[in-house]
Structure 1
């Protein structure tokens, strides 16, 4: 399938130039004015979320092909009345200035995302409760000496929490204003807070544990020690970058795509396509991190409920960092601002929220031929599109990489500060506490997972796609395999949604092949892309647990569904206090066909973290990723046309100062040519 280049055709200040373009400050203002003019608006109403309500894919593609009208610009608006708790989910047309739909939530299928205003209120609410004050006092602490950390509540069917907006609170001591509180957990104590009614519903006080006294002030030069003597690394592109940018549209090498931003998902990539001569070939229509679950494994009475859906409950796009040249990004940088609505509906711009740059990535391809004497090598580079968000104690970077050979990768980078506890110490038998690491004297860090859901709305050469599970298979010794060296592969079509839940299996080199059921390549086989998972555990909580019911997506590495524009989030639309059964769990109930259909992949990936002392007081970056590689999409290596380094560039970047120089290195290759593989 060939898709038409996106076009721009509007001058109205209340609209953008493309139906998938991120909402602009002018559009946020228009939405605010429309919503606040409605009769149900009150002075205590807050905007929990405002985002683009994307048109149906078919409408966008028809418009781009010149066969349909420009779709209206619409926005989804979630509103919370802080005084009454009334929650509404509304869709408005920016184009026509009208309200298209309003739903009032009763709380039975979850609550709206947690507001920053609610975060800020929990310390005051807890501090006004006599039971909380007394619990701190018996530990020798006052309200002014602790910081209350507001945490999402999960769902445990407590009668007093039905229909109420609940946050759970843990306390941390702060010795002075510059003291990092994560070093001093006040353990054995928690409070459950009704944010709307500003009341504490329950105090859980089970143990008076020592508050750790270790320092967590990693930004203190005295703690950092003597700086290492490291010489500068300078990255330059004297002729500028190789990409071209027009608004949110990017061209780089053969890649064409659109950069977007959403307050819930953060960075969104749209219509990732490959310019193949005169033909623009689609690969992924939309790619984002649609959910992120952080389940903790400590069953302590004050922390068994710790499982955070940082996308659905907290809207982690709101906490996007403003990136700095030379610190977060290095080289010739293209920045994109991230625009969202604050809780009063006003447009808020995060300057430099998204960073894009090129990186050298070592050898792309190379061969020294022993018969012809040919010596060819090409350098690889990749285009990096990234953003960083800080959610409480953790910092997450999400990096999308595009390569010259058609490969797509998504990598999550995890850093920041561990969520801590008091370490109970060893048992009388000398055994360690089984659910946390001791990372500093008396300081624990509970075991936990980070499970990211990547929503990959596929469009490999068009809308007729299918997924095959491919496993490596041993062939037993027998006729045709007398010496036992044979192995092959098995290919299983994922035919419908009810059978689409799949686990990665490194012992079988398991991958998932996304192919076009109508397009054939020059070998008369389907064109396609392969999803390579990074094998790691899925959700480790028991299948009967509350978090497992709420996070069906995290129990498998892969689900596949038919495209539906209403199915945006792996854990459902309203994740906060959701009892479970929404999101992917609900999407697959219809058991729609997946063979030759418009399909969406839901891929779960991420690390299981047993914290180390080396992760304290600030964590070196940990990594998790997945890869999409072309398979039969191209007739040959698509990077044959990458030019060799030449002239001044080769002289300055391919030379080195080791003994013998470049000539000696070439001689070594020539003399080693007889060793085959």
Structure 2
């Protein structure tokens, strides 16, 4: 029988019950109609932009790079969602690459919606603090397909001139991307500039195939690609065997002398790195059976307003949003009617490498540069998300239309794998207790997976029944590997015939705009300190160590790290709101797995544009113009960022203010042979939790009916069960083979 037919028998694929959002989702993506109207508006000759169709444009043309939603300012959203304020004005964000201007730049604009006769095209400058507003110099702007095409003739010429060398060394040559004789692929690292005054392109070569990332070649061509005039582009040099050759002549001389022979030749066959079944590895016993599944057997317990992307679950309510740059975002997160977070969103996924060749030594990635959200795609039901999950589409403007990725967000409730609470009282009877209580724990999860180049980032946001929230990110996919050298193990081990795993950091930055009840909050620091004390009832002990708490509020904006031995607790509290016991209400920030920051703090490749990755945590005062930790084009501006996170910290108070906590998750990726074919989600994981800390008067479990209260009769030893009306569900399961004593259909 088909698996999905089995699932339906258990009624677990029912749609989520519907609900109606209390307010319109003011953070929602602009509609396809709005996106098209913006496209038509900016292409109207009356705008004077002299735009070219992106399909035919070159680097010396002006063309629209993308249209997206401009996030509504918090100061405009709160009056509407909290009271009778007007619906905030919606704006579109438009990025135009202006290569046809005397000063070629990238410029961001904002357009008020809906388009009307008096609509204006305004420069979007207020979100950026680097001094140039939304403008980025041409040399620092995104290295899109137009720039690749502009540098292609030089790369083709250079590589054709040395094709005999590459054929002899690697059995391959590059004659240009469109030449049928070409049997090598190329990739270009970032950054390609340091401040926008000049630009370079470091080209790495690999064998083609589905797993091209795993078959790198020890050959790099570096080009000077400054400006829009491709006739001025020049060769900077070649790198192979850790040697730099500034000219073709010097490279050829080394080749003729027999100095370029590869000690560990790369394999052209990369099927060994496909994510498919490998029969040569054998088969584990009983692995032909379907693995256990997490099923919502009792029916869905969350409600959804699909139009407004609004969710209700066990006291939780929240809105979802999506942008092409950042992906899935959450707003107005409330527990039992009280706001905990105004916004929870991923801000950047950075990765910095180490090595002794141009690709690894000089690479840092900002994945928003590659439009992180657009790389979120269809999820595999039953594998990426449990069977019966609620699957939602994502959409975003693309060109003059809207692109839709079906089933790219999943919502599912899952058993936590442990009870929320449990206790038994001891007894001498045969059962070992007189009373036992156990409360079932479950979580509503929202998940997306974004494949950015070689990595599949899985983001899971869990809303727990106790009022806590967990954020988890996992990474799978191909290593950006390097050619193997036996004397360079300090950057990673050999993982295949000619392949080395490249040491790197993954740092994923998030924004948590807390509003504990309201927007007047503080970051409370509770230090567990060791102090000397005496006890008069044990005078003979003299002075001895004892632990105690030292509680303060952080005064001003700061970047900071988790305390050694976990001896500091960070809570966002509301000084004016107390629970029944007179204690300030708040939420604790609880470190989970692998809470790290960037290892390299002074690299020229990540000097000034990656400041958000250089501490575990940070706290700032909210400003509408500090919406993002990073600019999506910052990667090429290490010395002159378009948006500088370091400038957020200007001594403002964060005590009794509207504060934002920025936090980093990630992994130091100590590469290993078990990263072949791809990195495994089990190990490459990082998480954090926000847990109620005196936010309530007691634990949020007493109102849950999914529990058992068991009493043992001390005389007879019999047990009585209280199920509070939540009996075990009835579910029919068909057995493939009759089992002795069991009918083909059984009820569990």
Q: TM-score, normalised by structure 2?
A: 0.77
Give 2:434's aligned residue.
373
1:183-210 alpha-carbon deviations (Å, 9 max, x no partner):
3211241334749556565343243444
- Tell me, yes or no, if structure 1 residue 507 matches structure 2 residue 565: yes
Provide closer, same or farther for how the CA distance between residues 368 and 339 of structure 1 changes in structure 2, counting only shifts above 3 A.
same
- Tell me, yes or no, if structure 1 residue 386 matches structure 2 residue 467: no
Comparing 621-630 with 533-542, greater Cα deviation is found at: 533-542
Whether the 8 Å CA contact 2:522–2:554 is kept in 1: the answer is yes
Whether the 8 Å CA contact 2:608–2:640 is kept in 1: the answer is yes
Q: CA deviation at 1:133?
A: 5.2
Provide closer, same or farther for how the CA distance between residues 236 and 451 of structure 1 changes in structure 2, counting only shifts above 3 A.
closer
Comparing 222-231 with 549-558, greater Cα deviation is found at: 222-231
- Tell me, yes or no, if structure 1 residue 530 matches structure 2 residue 551: no
Work out which of the residue numbers 653, 666, 679 in structure 2 matches 1:593. Answer: 653
- Tell me, yes or no, if structure 1 residue 309 matches structure 2 residue 328: no
Whether the 8 Å CA contact 1:190–1:203 is kept in 2: the answer is yes
Give 1:36's aligned residue.
43
Comparing 368-377 with 77-86, greater Cα deviation is found at: 77-86
Whether the 8 Å CA contact 2:509–2:665 is kept in 1: the answer is yes
Comparing 217-226 with 91-100, greater Cα deviation is found at: 217-226
The whole-number CA distance in structure 1 between the counterparts of 2:150 and 2:476 is: 26
Work out which of the residue numbers 32, 57, 65 in structure 2 matches 1:48. Answer: 65
Q: TM-score, normalised by structure 1?
A: 0.84
1:572-594 alpha-carbon deviations (Å, 9 max, x no partner):
45313113464463443432111
Whether the 8 Å CA contact 1:122–1:150 is kept in 2: the answer is no
Comparing 376-385 with 473-482, greater Cα deviation is found at: 473-482
Work out which of the residue numbers 627, 631, 636 in structure 2 matches 1:577. Answer: 636
Comparing 445-454 with 344-353, greater Cα deviation is found at: 344-353
Comparing 298-307 with 374-383, greater Cα deviation is found at: 298-307
- Tell me, yes or no, if structure 1 residue 92 matches structure 2 residue 111: yes
The whole-number CA distance in structure 2 between the counterparts of 1:581 and 1:518 is: 41
The whole-number CA distance in structure 2 between the counterparts of 1:154 and 1:505 is: 37
Give 1:13's aligned residue.
none
Size of the alignment, in residue pairs? 620
Work out which of the residue numbers 628, 644, 647 in structure 1 matches 2:706. Answer: 644
Whether the 8 Å CA contact 2:67–2:93 is kept in 1: the answer is yes
Q: CA deviation at 1:162?
A: 1.9
Whether the 8 Å CA contact 1:503–1:557 is kept in 2: the answer is yes
Q: CA deviation at 1:650?
A: 3.3
Provide closer, same or farther for how the CA distance between residues 394 and 80 of structure 1 changes in structure 2, counting only shifts above 3 A.
same
1:616-636 alpha-carbon deviations (Å, 9 max, x no partner):
121111101111111010110
Give 2:236's aligned residue.
202
Work out which of the residue numbers 135, 144, 149 in structure 1 matches 2:187. Answer: 149
Q: How does 1:63-462 map to 2 (within 5 A)?
A: 63-81=80-98, 85-97=104-116, 98-102=119-123, 107=136, 111-115=140-144, 117-118=145-146, 121=149, 124-125=152-153, 127-131=155-159, 134=162, 136-137=166-167, 139=169, 140-143=171-174, 144-153=182-191, 155-156=193-194, 162=197, 167-174=201-208, 178-192=209-223, 194=225, 202-207=236-241, 208=260, 209=262, 210-213=264-267, 215=270, 216-222=272-278, 225-228=281-284, 229-230=286-287, 231-232=289-290, 233-247=292-306, 248-275=309-336, 280-311=337-368, 313-342=369-398, 344-361=399-416, 362-370=418-426, 373-426=434-487, 433-462=489-518
Q: CA deviation at 1:36?
A: 1.9
The whole-number CA distance in structure 1 between the counterparts of 2:639 and 2:701 is: 46
Whether the 8 Å CA contact 2:29–2:396 is kept in 1: the answer is no
Q: Which has the larger radius of gyration?
A: 2
Whether the 8 Å CA contact 2:194–2:637 is kept in 1: the answer is no
Whether the 8 Å CA contact 1:322–1:350 is kept in 2: the answer is yes
Where do 5+ consecutive residues of structure 2 fail to align? 1-19, 125-132, 175-181, 242-259, 428-432, 708-722, 732-748
Q: CA deviation at 1:61?
A: 1.7
The whole-number CA distance in structure 2 between the counterparts of 1:110 and 1:405 is: 51
Whether the 8 Å CA contact 1:113–1:315 is kept in 2: the answer is no
Q: CA deviation at 1:444?
A: 0.5
Q: CA deviation at 1:598?
A: 0.8
Where do 5+ consecutive residues of structure 1 fail to align? 9-16, 427-431, 654-677
Provide closer, same or farther for how the CA distance between residues 318 and 223 of structure 1 changes in structure 2, counting only shifts above 3 A.
farther
The whole-number CA distance in structure 1 between the counterparts of 2:509 and 2:210 is: 34
- Tell me, yes or no, if structure 1 residue 520 matches structure 2 residue 549: no
